[in-house]
Amino acid sequence: MIKSIGSFLAIIGIAAIIFGFLDRVPTILAWIYNWGDGAAWGIKIGLTVIGAVMWFMGKERVVEEPTSTATVEEEKAE
């Protein structure tokens, strides 16, 4: 879940940066230009960075399996 939200934020941020160079603004981010270009750049970069961090944090974790059943049975006996 976090990985998909992070992907969405990063894609929106990157798209806003690219479309900004083409003088096109995504409708969802048109409001950020009310505070000026500096704030708009900060928000676009922030979206990209936060999205990337969420994407990396959302990677699946590998659960380690016990190496032998004898150790598991010994732990249960104790």
The pTM score is 0.68
Q: What is the DSSP string of 13-25?
A: HHHHHHHHHTT--
Report the distance separating Cα 60 and Cα 34, nearest Å. Answer: 39
How would you class 74 by CB atoms within 10 Å of its CB: exposed for 0-12, middle for 13-18, buried for 19 or more?
A: exposed
What whole-number distance in Å separates Cα of residue 8 and Cα of residue 55?
9
Domain ranges of the chain: 2-57
Please measure the distance between the N-terminal and C-terminal CA atoms of the chain and give it in whole angstroms: 39
pLDDT tens across 37-75, in order?
A: 899 999 999 999 999 999 998 876 666 666 655 555 555
- All residues at 6 or more sequence positions from 78 whose CB lies less than 8 Å from its CB, including other chains: none
Question: What's the pLDDT score for residue 28?
Answer: 79
